Amino acid sequence: MRFARIATPEGLTFAVIDGEGDDHANLTAKAIKGTPYTEPEYTGKEFPLADVRLLAPTLPSKVVAIGRNYADHVQEVFQQSAEHLPPTLFLKPPTSVTGPGAPIRIPDFATKVEFEGELALIVGKPCKNVKAADWKSVIRGVTIVNDVSSRDLQFADGQWARAKGIDTFCPLGPWIETDLEKFELDNLPIKAHLTHDGVTETKQDSNSDQMIMGFGEILEFITASMTLLPGDVICTGSPAGTEAMTPGDTIAVEIPGIGVLENPVEQA
């Protein structure tokens, strides 16, 4: 099942996406009464997806991210091997979250802003001290995240909260896919296509089989410290291929089976 959050002429609502594939022309959004974290109760209102605007599919209380979880990305950003720089945990603020199609807005003091296409897990129930083997029991589904990062600020600050926490620096969507058995989560292609000056090139072209910490390990690691709540987002790390974006570009992160998360880039 696919859950989205949509802006309709009648207001904002969570919805179930009806239909197959990614083509919005073939999909219908069926509004639900509550959130994606319980069985859906339909309001009876339906909208052709082409007629509404997709928003970020969750309103998280926190966005917890695993950095340095792909060896090739560690090498390209830090010029050191992942052996010396193991995965680490950081937070992006909820105010950085934005939806599919919404602009990534770059302020003038961020001079090297890169995309990072990643697979994101959406938490389904309050949980603490989750064992690795039980990770699927607390996850509602998966979606795509772009962990937008200002490399200059990241290195200048030491801490990554500002470089990765600027408003609009966490595009999320297009929807939450709840069927974790629908695809091989440990073997999912992750791609990012950058359009610059009208030319589209595939910059990230990797696979979740390259992750250093797996999903279960990530859940056990985070929840040993922090309680996770429904709607919380876990960013599972970026593979190599990240590159700077400039105003006028469009960045599309693609994970086959989930969909495409595309955002234009603007000067703030």
| CB of 49 vs its own copies, minimal distance in Å | 28
Cβ closest to its own copies, residue 212 vs residue 226: 226
Cβ closest to its own copies, residue 50 vs residue 156: 156
| CB of 30 vs its own copies, minimal distance in Å | 29
| 3-state SS string for the chain | CEEEEEEECCEEEEEEEECCCCCHHHCEEEEECCCCCCCCCEEEEEEEHHHCEEECCCCCCCEEEEECCEHHHHHHHHCCCCCCCCCEEEEECHHHEECCCCCEEECCCCCCEECCEEEEEEECCCECCCCHHHHHHHEEEEEEEECCEEHHHHHHHCCCCCCCCCCCCEEEEEEEECCCCCCCHHHCEEEEEEEECCEEEEEEEEEHHHECCCHHHHHHHHHCCCCECCCCEEECCCCCCCCECCCCCEEEEEECCCEEEEEEEEEC
| CB of 108 vs its own copies, minimal distance in Å | 10
CB crowding 99-117: b at 16 or more within 10 Å, else e: bbbbbbbbeeebebbbbbb
Integer CA distances (angstroms), 43 to 29, 33, 204, 230, in order: 11, 6, 40, 22
> C-alpha 103: how far from its chain's center?
15
| CB of 43 vs its own copies, minimal distance in Å | 27
Cβ closest to its own copies, residue 136 vs residue 162: 162
| CB of 64 vs its own copies, minimal distance in Å | 7
Cβ closest to its own copies, residue 67 vs residue 237: 67
Cβ closest to its own copies, residue 42 vs residue 109: 109
Cβ closest to its own copies, residue 166 vs residue 251: 166
| CB of 157 vs its own copies, minimal distance in Å | 5
| CB of 160 vs its own copies, minimal distance in Å | 6
Cβ closest to its own copies, residue 88 vs residue 200: 88
The footprint of its own copies (CB under 8 A) covers 61-62, 64, 67, 85, 88-96, 107, 109, 128, 157-162, 165-167, 224-229
